[in-house]
Amino acid sequence: MPLLDEELAVLVQGGNKEAFEEIVGRYEKQLYHFALRLCRKKDLAEDIVQDSFLRAYQNIQSFDARKKFSSWIFRIVHNRAMDILRKEKKYLDIDIEDLPEIEDSKRLSEEIAKELDGLAVKQKMRTALEQVPVKYREVIILRYFHEMEYEEISDILKIPKNTVGTFLSRGKAALRETLSGKLTKEDI
């Protein structure tokens, strides 16, 4: 049976580098997609993820193994991405083609899929998501693309759980609004 992430982290704390390699393997893709959806540039997303793994290794002794490792490492990527987004507003000029297909990611949850049911608008939705303000977009990404619970999103973004719900509703509303403006009769 494979070790839990938290158990691997404890091994890394004890100096086991192979355990960290295993962690990198487990999280690399999802952290990359998370970073990419936030910063919208492949190179930048790679840098963010690489830098985040290095920071995670440097600071692994501060990780409390009673808590979720995924929240901890996503938090590091969030911090790094936000630092860059604050400094580099220019990255908001997006390169849509860099984004992976939504269908390739961990799927929209049934909830949002239902809300948008019947709309063949993957491309438009992808574009629309980019127009949602980053604080709402991030919650949508974590909830629907990484299928996280409110509790975990709250831990990553350091906001109360009810704020997660509020951001999600606002994000979905913004998404719907953007989508409704983009849909044509052919789409429906």
Partner 1 sequence: MSKIKEDVMEKISSGQVKMRSRNFFVLMKALLEISLVALVAFVIFIFNLTFYLPRRMMGAGFGSSRFTLLLESLPWTHLVFGLLGLGLVIWILYRYTGLYKKHFILIVSILSFGILLISYIVSVSNLNERLEERRGLRGLYRQQNWDTEGHQRRGPGFQLK
CA 155/CA 142 separation, integer angstroms: 12
CA 129/CA 70 separation, integer angstroms: 24
User: Segment contacting partner 1 (CB under 8 A): 59-67, 87-95, 100-108, 127-135?
Assistant: 59-67
CA 73/CA 39 separation, integer angstroms: 17
User: Segment contacting partner 1 (CB under 8 A): 2-10, 60-68, 96-104, 165-173?
Assistant: 60-68
162 touches partner 1 (CB under 8 A): yes
Buried/exposed code over 101-121 (b: 16+ C-beta within 10 A; e: otherwise):
ebeebeebeeebeeebeeeeb
Range 73-132, binding partner 1 (CB under 8 A): none
Range 12-51, binding partner 1 (CB under 8 A): 13, 15, 17, 20-21, 24-25, 28, 32, 46, 49-50
CB of 29 to partner 1, least distance (A): 9
* Residues 6+ away with beta carbon under 8 Å from 132: 140, 171, 174, 175, 178
Task: Please say which residue, 122 or 158, places its beta carbon nearer to partner 1.
Answer: 158
Task: Please say which residue, 167 or 178, places its beta carbon nearer to partner 1.
Answer: 167
CB of 61 to partner 1, least distance (A): 4
Judged on CB neighbours under 10 Å (0-12, 13-18, 19+), 155 is buried
Binding-site ranges for partner 1 (CB under 8 A): 13, 15, 17, 20-21, 24-25, 28, 32, 46, 49-50, 53-54, 57-62, 154, 158-162
